[in-house]
């Protein structure tokens, strides 16, 4: 049975259409056949536009097969030239020689623009990338137009007049059309080349590497940072650093964020803390001579070992979340001076894991991010019971118990949606489906279930959320054009205005209030955007259903009921024993049969037999309520800073003592050689 056209992938259709257009153009040029030539060329150009607008992924596929935009454009124009030479009277070569020369000159200019654009890009690639820092002394300037930096777009736009002129000449046999088109293309190319060449002038170039590094040293000496957050990772891991931004900003002293990947500068959430990205190890080592005393590490990465080599700094590992998983006791943690954990449970976990972390190096600081989580206030007061289903991702080890999405997710969601009194908030982990395609497919099916349930309910939102969104975006988003490069971002993302942090906090709180108020009371929600945050969802939820992960540890700060899906294959008693964070939870089987009883317990707290266990487990996992975690976090930072200063003092005294000690000059103290006896 033939395959229906609707089932043929769009990419295959586009590729086939482009190939057919070129074949038709070749036939039309060789015959020659003007109508076919016009039609095939127009179709070819239209497909190019479709590629750049909707199917950019195919551009790399064509490039790998040596059929990139340059080859395609040259072939298109070449076929037009062949058609012109074969049309009409003989000896047309002499008549069209100047036009062909002009066309060749245009392609030569295209190559020159590409070469100069590479030089411009190199001059604009600084050894340091900043945010929230006034780096105007580095002679920062707006980036060149995007068209001059993308060879494919540039050739397509700049070459369009020439191609159109050749087509018009083929249709009318008037050489002036081709001459005009080629002249326009040459003019555009010359203007583009001039724009780039001007940017290479010494007065227009940003600072060179040596000057930029001197500026960095001067800025560090002026700002005198004391504590920094060090982070390196992939684009999807930025949340691990973002969760520590607010606690970092509230510390005593002068905080700093140190990154290693250039793209990560824009992945960091809005903050007033200065951000330095130091891609090269040699640049990173300049921190050794700065006033920086402590670096806080929310995650491990391959580049962590590079900064650990700086002897003047003290390093602490805070992790981006604690759970019963083995990843919470990574042996790499012993490389740090201290390991900061939430409460006694993590201390015990490290002791039992025997990964080389000594108990004296473990410091309990709580979880300062959770200070804003509201405590349990009893049974749901409204008509709806809000349930937050926040499963974790599948992990790297292939353990089926890591995530409930694959085996239990749809069953849990169906059971929750079957209760007319439930309002479901579904917030999957950002990495769901990144390892196991089954998890991604199950996630999509869960979203479809929620969407179908919502279509059976109705509700209206108000305009307050739009106003609050505009205000929050105004405070947290820098108005940069789409084509801005790193240097241009550094120019416009300089030191924030005084008081912006308080304004952002107030705007965020107002946005969250407006967000939840704008939603229909009975409408289920799929939350995948950065706003609202997981902790904002905590404050809305009456019940959490999750997996063995740091989510349940954090949710315990609220004291509210929670349940854990058991997809590990272990019996419930073994499951509870293997994972201590589950001991105050309701354990749900993959078939979700226990959901109705769980909901009754939430609605009738007198039936809740796990309340005391949750309170005890909260203290065990997160430590005492007083002093608050932010205070304990700050105390730990100040203590480690003091240790770093004492270490520096001892090292300075030792070096001074060594310098004061007279070291004999071996060349002077050695016995002079005796003269040789005369022969």
DSSP-derived secondary structure for 105-169: HHHHHHHHHHHHHHHHHHHT--S-EEESS--GGG---PPPPHHHH-HHHHHHHHTHHHHHHHHHH
Per-residue pLDDT tens over the stretch 512-529: 888 888 888 888 999 998
Number of H helices, E strands in the chain: 27, 14
Residue 39 forms part of a structural domain: yes
Residue 505 forms part of a structural domain: no
Q: Is the pLDDT of residue 673 over 80?
A: no
- Report the 10 Å Cβ neighbour count for 279: 18
Position 584 scores a pLDDT of 94
Q: What is the rounded average pLDDT of the residues 577-591?
A: 93
- Report the 10 Å Cβ neighbour count for 2: 4
Position 326 scores a pLDDT of 65
Q: Is the pLDDT of residue 53 over 90?
A: no
Q: Is the pLDDT of residue 199 over 80?
A: yes
Per-residue pLDDT tens over the stretch 214-268: 999 999 999 999 999 999 998 888 989 999 999 999 999 999 999 999 999 999 9
Position 41 scores a pLDDT of 92
Contact of 556 with 618, CB cutoff 8 Å = yes
Q: What is the rounded average pLDDT of the residues 416-423?
A: 94
Do 191 and 244 lie in one domain? The reply is no
Number of domains into which the chain is organized = 3
Residues 6+ apart with CB under 8 A from 459: 519, 520, 521, 522, 523
Q: What are phi and psi of 131, to 5 degrees?
A: -150, 145
Do 309 and 359 lie in one domain? The reply is yes
Do 284 and 164 lie in one domain? The reply is no
Question: Where residue 664 falls among pLDDT bands split at 50, 70, 90?
Answer: low
- CA dist., res. 269 & res. 645, Å (int): 31
Residue 473 forms part of a structural domain: no
For residue 409, the 8-state DSSP code is I
Residue showing tokens 């279509």:
455
Do 423 and 447 lie in one domain? The reply is yes
Among 33-37, 50-54, 173-177, the range scoring the smallest mean pLDDT is: 50-54
Position 374 scores a pLDDT of 92
Q: Is the pLDDT of residue 7 over 60?
A: no
Residue 497 forms part of a structural domain: no
Do 382 and 454 lie in one domain? The reply is yes
Position 459 scores a pLDDT of 46
Q: Which two tokens stand for residue 466?
A: 């739009």
Q: What is the rounded average pLDDT of the residues 192-198?
A: 96
Domain boundary among 622, 648, 673: 622
Residue 654 forms part of a structural domain: no
Mean pLDDT, all residues of the chain: 88
Range of the domain at 252: 224-366
Q: For residue 520, with 0-12 CB atoms within 10 Å meaning exposed, 13-18 middle and 19 or more buried, which class applies?
A: middle
Q: What is the rounded average pLDDT of the residues 559-577?
A: 93
416 Ramachandran zone, left/alpha/beta (phi>0; psi -120 to 50): alpha
Half-sphere exposure of residue 265, counting CA atoms within 13 Å on the CB side? 25
Position 463 scores a pLDDT of 67
Residue 241 forms part of a structural domain: yes
Do 299 and 358 lie in one domain? The reply is yes
Question: What DSSP element (H or E) covers 277?
Answer: strand 275-277
Do 350 and 415 lie in one domain? The reply is no
Q: Is the pLDDT of residue 669 over 70?
A: no
H runs (alpha helix) in 493-581: 500-518, 534-540, 550-555, 572-578
H runs (alpha helix) in 224-300: 239-242, 245-249, 281-284
Residue 214 forms part of a structural domain: no
Q: Is the pLDDT of residue 427 over 90?
A: yes
Position 2 scores a pLDDT of 43
For residue 406, the 8-state DSSP code is I
Contact of 163 with 25, CB cutoff 8 Å = no
% of the chain surpassing 90 pLDDT: 61
Q: Which two tokens stand for residue 143?
A: 């980036």
For residue 273, the 8-state DSSP code is S
Per-residue pLDDT tens over the stretch 138-176: 999 999 999 999 888 899 899 999 999 999 998 888 889
Position 52 scores a pLDDT of 79
Q: What is the rounded average pLDDT of the residues 485-494?
A: 87
Do 274 and 313 lie in one domain? The reply is yes
Do 438 and 293 lie in one domain? The reply is no
For residue 405, the 8-state DSSP code is I
Residue 464 forms part of a structural domain: no
Do 353 and 427 lie in one domain? The reply is no
More confident residue, 392 or 480: 392
Q: What is the rounded average pLDDT of the residues 529-549?
A: 92
Do 400 and 267 lie in one domain? The reply is no
- CA dist., res. 587 & res. 563, Å (int): 6
Position 1 scores a pLDDT of 39
Q: Is the pLDDT of residue 461 over 60?
A: no
Which CATH number does the domain housing residue 570 bear?
Answer: 3.40.50.2000
Domain boundary among 606, 622, 638: 622
Contact of 186 with 106, CB cutoff 8 Å = yes
Contact of 545 with 389, CB cutoff 8 Å = yes
Contact of 647 with 314, CB cutoff 8 Å = yes
Question: Where residue 342 falls among pLDDT bands split at 50, 70, 90?
Answer: very high
% of the chain surpassing 70 pLDDT: 93
Domain boundary among 345, 366, 387: 366
Contact of 553 with 533, CB cutoff 8 Å = no
Do 180 and 260 lie in one domain? The reply is no
């Amino acid at each position: 049975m033939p395959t229906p056209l609707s089932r043929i992938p769009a990419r295959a259709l586009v590729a086939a259409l482009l190939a057919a257009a070129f074949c038709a153009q070749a036939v039309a040029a060789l015959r020659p056949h003007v109508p076919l030539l016009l039609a095939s060329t127009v179709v070819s150009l239209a497909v190019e536009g479709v590629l750049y607008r909707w199917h950019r992924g195919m551009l790399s596929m064509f490039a790998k097969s040596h059929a990139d935009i340059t080859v395609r454009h040259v072939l298109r124009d070449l076929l037009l030239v062949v058609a012109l030479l074969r049309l009409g009277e003989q000896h047309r070569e002499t008549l069209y020689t100047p036009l062909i020369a002009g066309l060749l000159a245009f392609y030569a200019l295209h190559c020159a623009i590409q070469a100069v654009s590479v030089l411009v890009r190199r001059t604009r690639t600084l050894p340091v990338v900043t945010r929230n820092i006034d780096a105007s002394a580095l002679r920062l300037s707006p980036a060149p137009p995007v068209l001059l930096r993308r060879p494919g777009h540039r050739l397509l736009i700049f070459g369009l007049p020439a191609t159109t002129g050749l087509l018009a000449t083929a249709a009318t046999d008037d050489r002036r059309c081709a001459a005009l088109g080629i002249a326009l293309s040459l003019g555009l190319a010359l203007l583009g080349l001039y724009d780039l060449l001007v940017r290479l002038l010494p007065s227009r170039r940003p600072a060179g590497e040596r000057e930029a590094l001197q500026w960095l040293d001067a800025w560090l000496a002026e700002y005198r940072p004391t504590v920094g957050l060090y982070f390196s990772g992939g684009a999807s891991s930025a949340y691990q650093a973002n969760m520590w931004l607010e606690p970092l900003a509230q510390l005593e002293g002068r905080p700093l964020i140190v990154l290693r990947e250039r793209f990560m500068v824009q992945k960091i959430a809005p903050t007033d803390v200065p951000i330095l990205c130091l891609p090269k190890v040699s640049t990173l080592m300049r921190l050794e001579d700065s006033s920086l005393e402590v670096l806080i590490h929310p995650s491990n990465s391959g580049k962590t070992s590079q900064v650990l080599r700086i002897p003047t700094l003290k390093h602490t590992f805070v992790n981006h979340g604690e759970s019963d998983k083995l990843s919470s006791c990574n042996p790499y943690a012993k490389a740090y001076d201290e390991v900061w954990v939430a409460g006694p449970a993590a201390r015990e976990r490290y002791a039992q894991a025997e990964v080389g972390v000594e108990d004296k190096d473990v410091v309990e600081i709580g979880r300062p991010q959770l200070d804003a989580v509201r405590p349990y206030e009893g049974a749901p007061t409204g008509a709806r019971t809000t349930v937050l289903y926040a499963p974790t991702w599948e992990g790297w080890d292939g353990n089926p118990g890591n995530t409930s999405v694959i085996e239990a997710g749809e069953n849990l969601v169906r059971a929750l949606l079957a209760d007319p009194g439930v309002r479901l908030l579904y917030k999957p982990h950002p990495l769901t489906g990144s390892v196991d395609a089954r998890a991604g497919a199950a996630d999509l099916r869960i979203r479809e279930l929620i969407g179908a349930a919502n279509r059976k309910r109705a509700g209206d939102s108000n305009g307050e959320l739009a106003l609050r969104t505009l205000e929050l975006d105004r405070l947290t988003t820098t108005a940069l054009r789409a084509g801005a490069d790193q240097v241009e971002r550094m120019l416009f993302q300089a030191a924030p205005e005084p008081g912006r942090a308080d304004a952002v906090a107030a705007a965020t709180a107002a946005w969250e209030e407006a967000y939840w108020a704008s939603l229909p009371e009975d409408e289920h929600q799929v939350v995948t955007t950065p706003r609202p945050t997981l902790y904002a969802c905590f404050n809305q939820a009456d019940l959490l259903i999750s997996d063995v992960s740091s989510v349940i540890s954090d949710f315990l700060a609220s004291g509210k009921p929670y349940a854990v899906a058991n997809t590990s294959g272990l019996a419930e008693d073994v499951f509870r024993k293997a994972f201590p964070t589950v001991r105050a939870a309701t354990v749900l089987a993959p078939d979700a049969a226990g959901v109705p009883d769980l909901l009754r317990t939430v609605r009738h707290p007198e039936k809740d037999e796990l309340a005391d266990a949750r309170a005890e487990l909260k203290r065990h996992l997160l430590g005492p309520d007083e002093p608050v975690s932010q205070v304990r976090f700050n105390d730990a930072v100040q203590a480690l800073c003091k240790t770093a200063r004492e270490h520096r003092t001892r090292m300075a005294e030792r070096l001074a003592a060594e310098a004061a000690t007279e070291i004999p000059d071996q060349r002077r103290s050695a016995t002079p050689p005796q003269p040789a006896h005369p022969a």
